[in-house]
Amino acid sequence: MFSKTCEYAFRATVVVAIASKNGERLTLADIAERTGAPKAFTAKVLQDLARAGIVTSRRGPNGGFDLPPLQARKVNLRMVMEAVGEDAFQNDCAMGLGSCNSGHPCPMHDQFSKVRDALDRMLENTDVNSLVQDLNNGITRLKV
Amino acid sequence: MFSKTCEYAFRATVVVAIASKNGERLTLADIAERTGAPKAFTAKVLQDLARAGIVTSRRGPNGGFDLPPLQARKVNLRMVMEAVGEDAFQNDCAMGLGSCNSGHPCPMHDQFSKVRDALDRMLENTDVNSLVQDLNNGITRLKV
DNA sequence: CTGGAACAGGACAAATGAGTCCGATAAAAA
DNA sequence: TTTTTATCGGACTCATTTGTCCTGTTCCAG
């Protein structure tokens, strides 16, 4: 459903947010380890997230990434997707027609646009902090 | 959202079903032309659809593909997806965790599984004939 | 029964996505 | 100021998806 890049971005964001809630800053190696994602690839993803202002990065000793709760409330999942260069599903057509819309619907349009829009709303309405606050049950890693 | 292969499969299936309703059998060249998809690639997709028994194929002169209404009622979109070798989104996890389920949920599980399940139900409950019978308005091609 | 019209299917080529490597840069600590 | 720790970012490789090509096979028509 989502690309690998996107999945890694979701996991990295959540893992960093969890750590930040405990005042902990995570290094790239930490994040790769806790998400079970390839380190070099995770570096790219984090770069994108940092450039988009979703996480803040710091170089050098005691450096790493963080995303404090106050900021995490302002970040939703759609923003994470867009940070790694993927559009949410907005005007996506199930049949791949560029010209498909409610005025010019493809045969699947009515059925598909309902669930597509529900998905988009979910991505828009779900902020990172809300994902994190539910799991005070000791989850700190999101490995496969 | 769907792969190209899948999009082509949807389009080809619908286009063939439309023609069959008029007792017309479509050749590969016809289908590629009406869907705006590459001919050789469409051939592969149709092969899969034929092997799965979704469309019926016939070789030689006056050959081609068809999918009469009676059969089209028994074919849903999930079957088309599976015919080209793709699983519907069933147990898909938004974060790419293989072990994610209601007992062991990832942080996005609750929000995501709702819309994912709605999508799966849509694919299951939508049969090809119902897609076709709405558009007696002269649509016979599904080009980009 | 032979020629041409069509699908069947394997092998190949191109494009995109996933993942790696390594030097450059920044910042803190010694 | 030097060393060490860490991100930054470009260039590269590998895998998968997408797309092409060509030969074989089936089947109808004359």
The reply to whether A98 touches chain B by the CB within 8 Å rule is yes
pLDDT at B137: 61
Q: Which nucleotides of C are covered by protein (CB under 7 A)?
A: 3-10, 17-22, 25-29
B120 phi, psi to nearest 5 deg: -60, -40
B109 pLDDT band, cuts 50/70/90, is very high
Q: Which of B2, B11, B106 sits opposite A142 (nearest CB)?
A: B106
Chain B: residue whose CA lies nearest to A86: B1
Which nucleotide minimizes the distance between its C1' and the CA of A85? C17
Contact B96 A144 (CB under 8 A): yes
Protein CA at A30 to nucleotide C1' at D2, angstroms? 28
Closest C-alpha to A80, from A2, A1, A27: A2
Closest C-alpha to A2, from A55, A78, A54, A76: A78
pLDDT at A142: 83
The reply to whether B7 touches chain A by the CB within 8 Å rule is yes
CA dihedral A121, A66, B109, B91 (to 10 degrees): 100
The more confidently predicted of residues A122 and B104 is: A122
Closest C-alpha to B3, from B129, B88, B109, B96: B88
The fraction of chain A above a pLDDT of 90, given in percent, is 90
**H or E stretch at B130:** helix B128-133
The fraction of chain A above a pLDDT of 70, given in percent, is 95
Q: B38: Cβ under 7 Å from strand C?
A: no
**H or E stretch at B113:** helix B109-125
Local structure of A19: helix, strand or coil: helix
Residue A4 has pLDDT above 80, yes or no: yes
Closest C-alpha to B13, from B64, B65, B62, B61: B65
Burial zone of A35 (CB within 10 Å; 0-12 exposed, 13-18 middle, 19+ buried):
buried
Residue B141 has pLDDT above 90, yes or no: no
Protein CA at B51 to nucleotide C1' at D24, angstroms? 18
DSSP characters over A94-128: TT--TT-SSSS--TTHHHHHHHHHHHHHHHHH-BH
CB A46 within 8 A of CB A55: yes
pLDDT at B136: 62
The fraction of chain B above a pLDDT of 70, given in percent, is 95
CA distances in angstroms from B52 to B46, B81, B134, listed in the order given = 10, 11, 25
The more confidently predicted of residues B141 and B41 is: B41
Residue B19 has pLDDT above 70, yes or no: yes
Over residues B99-122, the mean pLDDT reads 95
pLDDT digits (tens, 9 = 90+) for A21-61: 999 999 999 999 999 999 999 999 999 999 999 999 999 99
Q: What single letter denotes the amino acid at residue B133?
A: Q
Contacts A128 to B, Cβ<8 Å: none
CB B94 within 8 A of CB B106: yes
Over residues B9-14, the mean pLDDT reads 98
Q: Return the ∠ at Cα B15 (arms to B9 and B21), rounded to 5°.
A: 130
